[in-house]
Amino acid sequence: MATPKRVFAPGYVYHVYNRGNEKMSIFRDRKDYIRWIDRIELYKEKIGIDILAYCFLPNHFHFLLLEPLQPVGLEQPDGLISTGRIPTFISFISNAYAKYFNIRYKHEGKLFQGTFKTKLIRDDRYYEGVTHYIHRNPVKHTIVKNVVDWPFSSFQEYTESQKHFLSLVSKDKLFFDLKGYQQRFLKYTQQKKEKEIEDYIIE
């Protein structure tokens, strides 16, 4: 039985995430992260997608993506026609990165755990909550003690940290003002609201 085609509504924000097959590490060193980011930069422009938030960790990744207002049918690497730009973007970066990974590590078999997961962000409350959740992932998974110490996250771009070296976020498309973001993020972590976001996400 064919997998139902997912429809991505123009103008809506989606939380997109996936992990390594059987939770395997997909990024083993800085070179891997840089290769992944290079593919993101390439296809972000080529396909025309807006990234609102992201976090890349050793065995999984998170994005907040805005489906453009102009719907379009785009061919994916597997030959299927998507009903939006988001699945095409994820398919292209995942396939390109998997080819690199398989060559570098002589890996055979699937790199990612099936089709990427998506959640439609239906209101402002969850939009900012999921953004906080994504940014806190490196701490949640005990990779670092402080989010400012993780370089592969949009938190650095949001707070304009001197440590940041990426520019993937379409800041003009964000649905809230970045002024005071760090304070709102700290309030979120202090109030321990992460559980309600996790219940919504169901990773």
Give the pLDDT band of residue 160 (cuts 50, 70, 90).
confident
pLDDT tens column, 41-68? 999 999 999 999 999 999 999 999 999 9
How far apart (Å, rounded) are the C-alpha atoms in residues 35 and 86?
20
Higher pLDDT, 203 or 28: 28
Instruction: Work out the average pLDDT over 90-94.
Output: 96
Gap between the Cα atoms of 182 and 34, Å rounded: 26
Q: Could you give the percent of the chain with pLDDT greater than 90? A: 63
Model confidence, pTM: 0.87
169 pLDDT exceeds 60?
A: yes
**What are the structure tokens assigned to 109, written together?**
């078999």
Q: Place 194 in a pLDDT band, splitting at 50, 70 and 90.
A: low
- Could you please report the per-residue DSSP string of 133-177? HHHHHHHHTTS-SSGGG-SSBTHHHHTT-TT-----B-GGG-SS-
| Cα separation values, 69 from 26, 50, 90, 109, 159, Å | 32, 11, 18, 36, 28
**Rounded (10°) angle between helices 124-140 and 194-201:** 100
The yes-or-no verdict on residue 98 having pLDDT over 90 is yes
Mean pLDDT of the chain: 86
Q: Please, which residues bridge with residue 120 across strands?
A: 14
Q: What is the pLDDT of residue 81?
A: 47
Average pLDDT, stretch 3-22? 86
Q: Greater confidence, 170 or 177?
A: 170
Q: Which residues contact 123 (CB under 8 A, 6 or more apart)?
A: none
Question: What does the pLDDT read at residue 60?
Answer: 97
C-alpha to C-alpha distances, 72 to 9, 141, 173, 192, nearest whole angstrom: 11, 37, 19, 40
Is 173's pLDDT higher than 70? Answer: yes
Nearest Cα to Cα of residue 71 among 88, 52, 96, 53: 88
Q: What is the pLDDT of residue 197?
A: 60
Mean pLDDT of all residues in 165-179: 89
Neighbours of 154 (CB within 10 A): 25
CATH 1.20.1640.10 applies to domain 13-201: no
Q: What 8-state DSSP symbol labels residue 74?
A: -
Percent of the chain with pLDDT over 70: 82
